[in-house]
Amino acid sequence: MSDVVRAAIVQAAWTGDQESMVELHKKYVGEAAAAGVRVMCFQELFNGPYFCQVQETDYYSYAEAIPDGPTTKRFQEIAAKHGMVLVLPMYEEEQPGILYNTAAVIDADGTYLGKYRKTHIPQVKGFWEKFYFRPGNLGYPVFDTAVGRVGVYICYDRHFPEGWRALGLNGAQVVFNPSATSRGLSAYLWKLEQTASAAANMYFVGAINRVGVEPLGDNDFYGTSYFANPRGQFVEDPASDQEQELVIRDLDFAMIDETRAQWAFYRDRRPDMYGPLTEA
């Protein structure tokens, strides 16, 4: 059995309404399936605009149940149709007033495997996320899928190395980081942090960002989605910083064991010395 997994990520621009956004992603799944893709992740809050540029209660209506809401159910059927693992980042309503920034994970036979809730929630100009989301409370799950062990980290989480490490220790072979990040102060970190996290943990990372300026604010989302390998190198070139794009790459999971044997970072960890990190 080959260790090579064909994977996809997609960066898209806001279409103006949720239904057409879902249809756009359905089309991309079809294109990916035709190219032999076996696992695919969408961008943060994929079926809506990045509404966190404003603080308006109207956008609470974008939240839905996971897995019992219509979007998860719809993509379970699509995943089964194409035999593809799908990661769906969405706005989740656990119950009225209890809302999370979440990613659902669906296996290639359409089975709902579980979800990750964004752990670190920013509250700065243009990213008013504490108005919309509670901090995640499900830890750092890793999902056994038809293609291997898949983890998820979401956008602002990427600035915190602890979760990357937890996902690695939990057995992740590929971690997807769906995001909504705009040009400005942190843009130079985009190609730095996630490649470094891939190297530090010796697994693959799929970094996804939306594109364009949306009507809700000045954030200019710059795409540049990419895959990084366990040595922290790009798997081919990153995507456009302007245009929608379906990014398809072959990930050789054999590189994970090879790199860990060479670098042995997990062997040489000293968790007995890290206690003060959780006491500060």
Contact 80, 118 (CB under 8 A): no
Matching residue, tokens 């929630």: 121
Q: Which residues contact 194 (CB under 8 A, 6 or more apart)?
A: 158, 177, 205, 207, 228
Q: Using CA atoms, how far apart are residues 139 and 117, in angstroms rounded to an integer? A: 8
Q: Which of helix, strand or coil describes residue 213?
A: strand
Q: Find, among 142, 155, 259, 154, the residue nearest to 199 by Cα.
A: 259
Helix, strand or coil for residue 62? helix
Q: What is the largest distance, in Å, between two alpha-carbon atoms of the chain?
A: 52
Report d(CA 201, CA 251) in Å as an integer. Answer: 16
Rounded Cα–Cα distance for residues 220 and 241 (Å): 10
Q: State the catalytic residues.
A: 44, 118, 155
Query: Edge to edge, what strands does the sheet with 112-117 contain?
Result: 112-117, 98-106, 85-95, 39-41, 4-11, 245-252
Q: Contact 88/116 with Cβ under 8 angstroms? A: no
Instruction: Give the contacts of 147 (CB within 8 A, at least 6 positions apart).
Output: 5, 7, 38, 39, 85, 108
- Residue 9 has phi, psi (to 5 degrees) of -135, 155
